[in-house]
Amino acid sequence: MKKVALITGITGQDGSYLAELLLEKGYIVHGIKRRSSLFNTNRIDHLYQDPHDPDQRLKLHYGDLTDAMNLTRIIQECQPDEIYNLGAMSHVAVSFDTPEYVGNVDGLGTLRILEAVRILGLEKKTRIYQASTSELYGGMPENKNEKGFYDESSPFYPRSPYGVAKIYGFWITKNYREAYNMYACNGILFNHESPRRGETFVTRKITRAVAKIALGLQEKVFLGNLEAKRDWGHAKDYVRMMWMILQADKPEDWVIATGVTTTVREFVRLAFSEVGIEVAFKGEGVDEKAYVVACNHKDFQVEIGKEVLSVDPTYFRPTEVDLLIGDPSKAKNQLGWVPEHDLASLVKDMMKGDVLLMRKDVDLLKAGHEILKQAE
């Protein structure tokens, strides 16, 4: 019989890549999506065919992590072999504006899934993956291991409502594993990006803006702390590790990271480089700006000396996490997980996608001008 998986947050970046992976492996995949007045399935539309087709292995359900009864009903109907809880309000900066909502979804939402599995008597059948986060560590330098990294034994010190909510999700998952002998694991994911990343996250904000600047659709981009350092990986590598975690002999907690850190400033430089634009940074702190010093791409013409980036203090967080870098040694040594993408290939992939996306806007503008000319 085919394995059955249930994914919360299936319409998000990670959920869409994980659904692809599991379908390739022959799973029947159920996904939970929130009801919206707008279509929000664009990341999985290529996977979802005719819902009336008896061979359709992707099935979607309306649900919400704040609704325990609904979650219990879906789990009872699906009888999943594996549950991947990827649903969350995952924007760190926004969590300061919606702390109660984040606690309800990211913290108690995890409890609702664990408790549903328990009361349905699926403890021995269903394996659970909880998407945890590097924000648990809070970037506290004294909590790193002897190599200067954060690993599975590093103490937690969350610095945002998002991190605090996720720390509840981490510990309640561990508690249910120990109290009820459930196969429940935490994957402590460091930053992972892709062309499917949400548009409000800093990496995608950068690649979209750089593509627009190169195509003449935007003058410059405003960012916050350029000194912030992150351990950025590709979402495709990370969802593969999620699956590997639930195939392990025993349930444990795992760090998923690349072990390489990069500043926001360097990410900006790499993004511009992908479209043949070289930038130089001048000034410090809130006065730092980036200017074009060379443009070497035949398809893009950006004025030399043009200011293309400014720092906006409104993007600073009340409590900033300056450095996050993970130690994936356990994942590599015990499960054989090795990332297939480095930062350069990640930025290339994201820029390729956003240049293609923004070219469509250019084509639409040209078509609109042509229609107006013909109407005159």
Instruction: List residues with catalytic annotation.
Output: 133, 135, 162
Angstrom CA distances, 371 to 23, 360, 367, stand at 44, 16, 6
Nearest CA to 265 out of 206, 178, 338, 191 is that of 206
Rounded to whole angstroms, the Cα distance separating 347 from 153 reads 31
Q: Which amino acid is at 96?
A: F
Here the tokens at position 242 are 């999620």
Residue ranges in the chain assigned as alpha helix (H):
13-24, 68-78, 92-95, 99-102, 109-119, 161-180, 202-214, 235-247, 264-274, 329-330, 343-375
Residue with tokens 């996050």: 324
**Side-chain half-sphere CA neighbours of 273 within 13 A:** 12
Strands 229-230 and 262-263: antiparallel
Residue 7 · residue 32 · CB < 8 Å:
yes
Tell me if residue 230 falls in helix, strand or coil: strand
Neighbours of 247 (CB within 10 A): 9
Beta strands in 42-86 (DSSP E): 58-62, 82-85
Nearest CA to 10 out of 356, 2, 18, 26 is that of 18
Residue 159 · residue 92 · CB < 8 Å:
no
Q: Which amino acid is at 101?
A: Y
Neighbours of 13 (CB within 10 A): 23
